[in-house]
């Protein structure tokens, strides 16, 4: 379903170049700070936390050292970041990156197999200004994580939780209590959420204009007000 579109023999060489090209681009940013506001690294499966995402100043006692090599942390004006399917990213690398971008408005962390509740809470703490958040197919994120993270995101307007298999109505309750600006929610193919929970959520937040809920609790339905 999520094919890259490249021929089987060409896919890996193409991905292998991504890290080097990004490193070169960020290297030029290091010499001349960029005002880049939007960056997509979607499906860069070769993206490695130690090169592009984490500080390289090992052994320093400074809690916020300046990046010493190619790093996303140089992009201080960034407001939109897409890390969809960057499968090597971990809770630790995401926590370090997101703590540097409190101004971020849009973030996609869909298809990250290593993202857990710990990472979700760290992202929520580091990026309290988010308005658009995508977490589709993050199967290790649960109600426990959302119980802690939801309070950090009162500005959320668009939220994609499709195919998050561990979520139940408890997550909808947590979101409904805090995210009062929400307009669009996608819980498609979340087996732990049923239509009764979706209707209760809409009663909590009548301003929500669209809830995508196909195959929720066995139903095949999209509710649009």
DSSP 6: S
Q: Rounded to whole angstroms, how far apart are CA atoms 156 and 121?
A: 15
pLDDT of residue 215: 86
Q: Rounded to whole angstroms, how far apart are CA atoms 143 and 165?
A: 10
pLDDT, the chain, mean: 80
Residue 166 lies in a domain: yes
What is this structure's pTM?
A: 0.78
pLDDT tens column, 202-223: 998 999 999 999 988 755 544 4
pLDDT of residue 216: 84
Helices and strands in the chain: count of H runs, count of E runs: 6, 8
Tell me which of 71-75, 108-112, 173-177 is least confident: 71-75
Residue 40 lies in a domain: no
Residue 45 lies in a domain: no
Tell me which of 45-49, 89-93, 152-156, 171-175 is least confident: 45-49
The range of the structural domain enclosing residue 110 comes to 75-215
What domain count does the chain have?
Answer: 1
pLDDT of residue 218: 55
The pLDDT > 90 percentage for the chain reads 60
CATH number at residue 152: 3.80.10.10
């Amino acid at each position: 379903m999520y094919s890259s579109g490249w021929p089987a023999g060409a896919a890996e060489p193409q991905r292998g170049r991504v890290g080097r090209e990004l490193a070169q681009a960020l290297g030029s940013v290091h010499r001349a700070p960029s005002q880049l506001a939007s960056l997509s690294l979607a499906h860069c499966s070769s993206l490695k936390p130690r090169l592009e995402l984490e500080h390289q100043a090992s052994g320093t006692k400074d809690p916020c050292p300046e990046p010493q090599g190619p790093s996303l942390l140089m992009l201080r004006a960034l407001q939109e970041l897409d890390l969809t399917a960057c499968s090597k990213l971990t809770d630790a690398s995401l926590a370090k990156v997101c703590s540097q971008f409190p101004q971020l408005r849009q973030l996609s962390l869909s298809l990250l197999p290593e993202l857990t509740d710990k990472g979700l809470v760290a992202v929520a703490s580091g990026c309290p200004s988010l308005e658009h958040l995508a977490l589709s197919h993050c199967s290790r994120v649960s109600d426990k994580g959302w119980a802690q993270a939801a309070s950090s995101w009162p500005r959320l307007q668009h939220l994609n939780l499709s195919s998050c298999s561990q979520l139940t109505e408890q997550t909808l309750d947590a979101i409904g209590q805090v995210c009062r600006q929400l307009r669009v929610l996608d819980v498609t193919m979340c087996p732990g959420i049923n239509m009764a929970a979706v209707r209760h959520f809409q009663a909590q937040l009548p301003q929500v204009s669209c809830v995508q809920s196909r195959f929720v609790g066995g139903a095949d339905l999209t509710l649009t007000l």
